């Protein structure tokens, strides 16, 4: 049994910096996604930072990274630094999400300026 979300991810996807642990458990991605869905923001951030310490590296699939950041932001909607981190991840992994990344940066700027995130003209 995996004791942490990071351990489960490492076992399922591998780790660019450490060997994949020996595990007797059957690995199915949907079990990991279920665990990720209900994980704490701290557990998710720990996984992202340990398995992808430089954001452009690591073996986590892009869709897992995107989902992980979305789940963190749902738990911590007022943390501008996390919004910027999520936006940077989106920009690094393809132009399909550039508009979402731009919006996250805009929301982060609005939070830092003490304005509502939906106010026009925020950057």
User: 110: domain range?
Assistant: 79-123
| Same domain? 86 vs 26 | no
Q: Which band of pLDDT confidence, cut at 50, 70 and 90, is reported for residue 117?
A: low
| Same domain? 60 vs 11 | yes
| Same domain? 70 vs 115 | no
Residues 109 and 94: their CA atoms lie apart, in Å, by 22
pLDDT at residue 76 above 50?
yes
| Same domain? 83 vs 72 | no
| Same domain? 65 vs 25 | yes
| Same domain? 53 vs 100 | no
Tokens 């950057």 — which residue? 123
Q: For residue range 6-21, what is the model confidence (pLDDT) as tens digits?
A: 999 999 999 998 888 7
Tokens 């199915």 — which residue? 28
| Same domain? 105 vs 59 | no
Q: For residue range 92-114, what is the model confidence (pLDDT) as tens digits?
A: 887 899 999 999 999 999 999 99
Burial label, 35 (beta-carbon count in 10 A; 0-12, 13-18, 19+): middle
| Same domain? 62 vs 100 | no
Global pTM exceeds 0.85: yes
């Amino acid at each position: 049994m995996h004791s942490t979300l990071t351990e489960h991810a490492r076992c399922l996807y591998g780790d660019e910096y450490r060997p994949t642990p020996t595990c007797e458990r059957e690995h199915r991605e949907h079990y990991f996604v279920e665990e990720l869905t209900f994980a704490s923001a701290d557990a998710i951030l720990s996984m992202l930072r340990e398995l992808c310490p430089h954001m452009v590296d690591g073996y986590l699939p892009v869709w897992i990274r995107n989902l992980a950041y979305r789940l963190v932001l749902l738990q911590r909607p007022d943390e501008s630094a996390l919004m910027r981190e999520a936006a940077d991840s989106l920009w690094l992994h393809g132009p399909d999400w550039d508009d979402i990344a731009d919006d996250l940066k805009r929301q982060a700027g609005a939070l830092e300026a003490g304005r509502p995130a939906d106010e026009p003209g925020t950057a």
